[in-house]
Chains A and B, each alone.
Chain A
Amino acid sequence: MTNPNNVSLNIHHELSFIDGHALNIPTLKILSETGDVYPGATVPNISQDTALRLYRTMRFIRMLDERMQAAQRQGRISFYMQCLGEEAAVTASAAALDDDDMIMAQYREQAALHYRGFRLDQFMNQMFSNELDLGKGRQMPIHYGSNELNYMTISSPLGTQIPQASGHAYGQKLKHIDEKTGELASEIDNVTICYFGEGAASEGDFHAGLNMAAVLKAPVIFFARNNGYAISTPADEQFAGDGIASRGVGYGIKTIRVDGADALAVFAATQAARDICVKTGEPVLIESIAYRLGAHSTSDDPSGYRSKEEEADHQLNCPIARFKKWLVAQNWLDEAQDDAEKETIREQILEAVKVAEKVEKPALESLISDVYDTPIPELSEQYEHLKAHILAHPDAYPTTAGRIK
């Protein structure tokens, strides 16, 4: 490795600057828009089971997103964020990991969580903030988390998970380091993947997190979902230079750019990235180029900042349809059966909404639990005060008054 502070190396006597746009990182593409493998491209090693699990996850998430978007419009939930257009980027990357690898997501990665086994009722319990929600009804819809499935609970502030992923991955590596030499003594069992949008890559945490991982050598896969928009701000108003990938190179991190609508390219890149992390203990950056077909969230209206024509162009490039064509060509997917499954899922989602919205909200105790491992005295006192107040005015607090123990 060269040390740029060693001025005796690589001396040059002609005044010249390296252009800020000098890097022009290529994009890995394996499947064409028509679902054919490009000549010269290598199909990654993916089993039929994995490929179908991947496909079914993408299909499920699209159906869930459509239904929950509608549920938000009907006023049944307060907020929603779709994965529309990025299903392959999120699902195929998750599929290339070990189920025990930690996922530290931003907020639009519900497909990765479902791939891990998060059930329909669990999604609903979170979105309806009921007492069965693992997060105890404390966060807005889509802030999922599951310890059992190694999916770190989502946090709203943008980019905060990026340096955390570096630290978490470092922890995964620790036991594989030889005490005497300080070097990696064996392959690492599990790594961390960190998802973030290209918008989050402008936050200080991004720069801090990448630099920490690069210098301290943490086995983390940084997965930048470059979907073209940070809420309403298009990519060309967000950064100069060659996307997010060039920043990875700048931090001394092995980097690859992939077509995020191409499930096979994302799978291949993530599989290879994981292999690097496991063997070297060092980070990798993947920049996935996709297009956020939907709104940023249900609080956003893309018609204010992009044209119908632009959206229509991208609608032709559906990551799910592209992968499906390939599966059919492999004789791994029966289309008639697929259609029947879709109908079943649609009914299950409708039913799950009805069930979840009838479940009671979390008990009053959850106001003060988990602030600390045990409530501090002030908080217990405030809680007793609140309880007495509610019991004195039960009609004003109808959903909790009758449930106070």
Chain B
Amino acid sequence: MAQMNMLQAINSALDISMSEHPNACIFGEDVGHFGGVFRATSGLQERYGRHRVFNTPLTEQGILGFANGLAAFGAPTIAEIQFADYIFPAFDQIVNETAKFRYRSGNEFNVGKLTIRTPYGGGIAGGLYHSQSPEAYFAHTPGIKIVVPRNPHQAKGLLRACIEDDNPVLFFEPKRLYRASIGEVPEGDYRIEIGTAEIVKEGKDVTLLAWGAQMEIIEQAAGLAEKEGISCEIIDLRSILPWDRDTLVSSVNKTGRLVISHEAPITNGFGAEIAATIQQHCFLHLESPILRVCGMDTPYPLALEKEYVPDALKVFAAIKQSVTF
């Protein structure tokens, strides 16, 4: 085990993948010699050559179009979109092409070897174009998987699983935690199964659910609640598509209450899907309405970020509302 921050953990996962697959490629804007604007790909071009780790022109639709073709050829393909906010020029390539390649061709062709990495979320004073969490747009599209790690250990294990998965995967990296989150990470290879949630802490009064950077927030909120004698069960969804319904259903059946928190705007956010599903499966066990503490339906602000974000205090208020209903 070594101490790593999330970027180092990601770099380690990429390094292992590149050494395992002689035709694997990593590309995107500035990912070559410079190592990416966040330095996630540092040192990889030196190790694996300019033909396998390379800068592309500044074209997200070009990056994803190229990635689809390379993955369809059969090469493990890791494409980086520099900020998730800039994934939309590639939206058509992802939802119409990546996601449907296998289905539309009857599996004559597929892009299962594709992994798309992109930093998402706020907390870096990035304003409306460097803070978005666009997972829900993609979660509406059958054919791709969506994964969000919350710490370095997860980042490495999940990214390795994404690269080895035989389906295209969108890997959203919480950029606020890139350097802030440090933890023990095995130096060798390991994988964390996609599609499974993690029960971070067991509790009995209310279930708290989040993913990625928002996990830190609900853990803080749980701390505030514990001081008032409220026992919180904390669950990290880890994987948005597919998502681990069973783990959540059994937790809510136990606690009778659910508070979901995500950074993305509340309307049509992925929390809405979870709330609807849990309502259907846990109806007779629910002691109070499912609550969502999310971003507002406004673009992500700059100066008023502190007010906007679904912070620990807002989550704590929702926990109290839930248990006192």
Chain A interfacial positions (CB closer than 8 Å to B): 102, 104, 133-136, 138-139, 143, 145-147, 152-153, 155, 157, 160, 162-172, 174-175, 177, 179, 182, 192, 204-205, 207-209, 211-212, 215-216, 366, 369-373, 376-379
- Bound complex: CA A320 to CA B51 (Å): 43
Kindly list chain A residues whose C-beta atoms are within 8 Å of the C-beta of B89. Answer: 204
Contacts of A212 in B (CB 8 A): 56-57, 59, 62-63, 65-66
Q: Which of A164, A209, A211 has the most CB of B within 10 A?
A: A164
| Contacting pair B108 A208 (CB below 8 A) | no
- Cα A216 to Cα B52 in complex, Å, equals 11
Q: Are A372 and B143 in contact (CB under 8 A)?
A: yes
Residues of B within 8 A of A366 (CB): 106
- CB-defined A-B contacts under 8 Å, sample of 11: A134-B105, A134-B108, A164-B66, A169-B69, A170-B66, A170-B73, A205-B93, A208-B61, A216-B56, A370-B106, A371-B142
**Docked-complex contact A167 and B92, CB < 8 angstroms:** no
Tell me the complex Cα distance, A254–B64, Å.
Answer: 24
Question: How close is B77's CB to chain A, nearest CB, in angstroms?
Answer: 8
Stretch from B96-104, B297-305, B315-323 that touches the partner: B96-104
Q: Which residues from chain A contact B87 at a C-beta distance below 8 Å?
A: none
The closest CB in chain A to the CB of B277 belongs to A378
B7 to chain A minimum Cβ distance, whole angstroms, is 25
Chain A residues, Cβ within 8 Å of B145: 372
Shortest Cβ gap from A324 to chain B (Å) = 34
**Contact between B166 and A373 (Cβ–Cβ < 8 Å)?**
yes
Is B33 on the interface with A (CB-CB < 8 A)?
Answer: no
Name the A residues within 8 Å of B51 (CB-CB). 174, 177, 182
Q: A155-B96, A174-B25, A212-B57 are in contact. Are A143 and B65 (CB under 8 A)?
A: no
> Contact at A167–B106, with CB atoms within 8 Å?
no
Give CA–CA (A215, B29) in the complex, Å: 13
B70: chain A residues within 8 A (beta carbon): 167-168, 170-171
Establish whether residues B72 and A135, one from each chain, have CB atoms under 8 Å apart when the complex forms: no
> Which residue, of B66, B104, B108, has the highest number of chain A Cβ atoms within 10 A?
B66
Contact B105 A153 (CB under 8 A): yes
Residues of B within 8 A of A135 (CB): 104-106, 108
User: Would A163 and B62 be within 8 Å (CB), given that A135-B108, A182-B50, A376-B195 are in contact?
Assistant: yes
Q: How many A-B residue pairs have CB under 8 A?
A: 167
The number of chain B residues touching the other chain, given as a range, is: 35 or more
Closest 4 interchain pairs by CB?
A163-B65, A167-B69, A208-B62, A171-B73
Q: State the Cβ distance, A377 to closest chain B Cβ, in Å.
A: 6
Let me know if B172 is at the binding interface, CB within 8 A.
Answer: no
- Is A175 in contact with B195, judged by CB distance below 8 angstroms? no
Q: A160 contacts B93, CB within 8 Å?
A: yes
Contact with A along B148-167 (1 / 0, CB 8 A): 00000000000000000011
| Residue B75 CB within 8 A of the other chain | yes
Apart from the given pairs A171-B69, A211-B57, A212-B59, 16 other A-B contacts in the complex at a CB distance below 8 Å: A136-B106, A138-B106, A143-B104, A152-B109, A155-B100, A160-B68, A166-B65, A166-B69, A167-B67, A167-B72, A170-B70, A174-B52, A175-B23, A215-B57, A370-B106, A373-B102
Q: Which residues of chain B are near A205, meaning CB under 8 Å?
A: 61-62, 65, 92-93
Taken together as a complex, chains A and B put the C-alpha atoms of A102 and B241 apart, in Å, by: 32
B-side contacts of A182, CB under 8 Å: 49-51
Closest A residue to B75 by beta carbon equals A171
> Could you tell me the distance between the alpha carbons of A164 and B51 in the complex, rounded to whole angstroms?
17
- B residues bordering A, Cβ < 8 Å? 23, 25, 49-52, 54, 56-57, 59, 61-75, 77, 89, 92-93, 96-97, 100-110, 112, 142-143, 145, 166-167, 195, 241-242, 245
Residues of chain B with a CB closer than 8 A to A164's CB: 65-66, 68-69, 72, 97
Partner among B109, B112, B167 whose Cβ is within 8 Å of the Cβ of A145: B109
CB-CB < 8 A to A104: which residues of B?
A: 69
Residues from chain A with a CB closer than 8 A to the CB of B62 are: 163, 166, 205, 208-209, 211-212
Find chain A residues with CB under 8 A from B54 CB.
216
User: B72: which A residues are within 8 A, CB to CB?
Assistant: 152, 164, 167-168
Asked if A155 contacts B104 (CB within 8 A), the reply is yes
**CA gap between A288 and B49 in the complex, in Å:** 37
The interface residues of chain B lying within 8 Å CB-to-CB of A155 are: 96-97, 100, 104
Contact: A371 with B102, CB < 8 Å? Answer: yes
In the bound complex, CA of A143 to CA of B101 (Å): 12
Q: How far is A138 from B106 in the complex, measured between Cα atoms in Å?
A: 8
Complex contact B65–A146 (CB within 8 A): no
How far, in angstroms, from A166 to B56 measured CA to CA in the complex?
A: 12
Report A-chain residues with C-beta under 8 Å of the C-beta of B101: 153
Query: How far does the alpha carbon of A153 sit from the alpha carbon of B104 in the complex, in Å?
Result: 8
Closest to A209 in B: B65
Complex CA gap A177/B52 in Å reads 10
Q: Which residues of B contact A209 (CB under 8 A)?
A: 62, 65-66
B106, A157: Cβ atoms under 8 Å?
Answer: no
Bound complex: CA A181 to CA B167 (Å) = 33
CB-CB under 8 A from A133, the residues of chain B are 106
Chain B, Cβ-Cβ closest to A158: B92
Are A157 and B96 CB-contacts (below 8 A) given A143-B104, A145-B108, A163-B61?
yes
**Complex Cα gap A96–B92 (Å):** 32
Q: Once bound together, how far apart are the Cα atoms of A153 and B96, in whole Å?
A: 13
Q: Is the CB of A153 within 8 A of B109?
A: yes
Q: Closest chain A residue to B107 by CB distance? A: A370
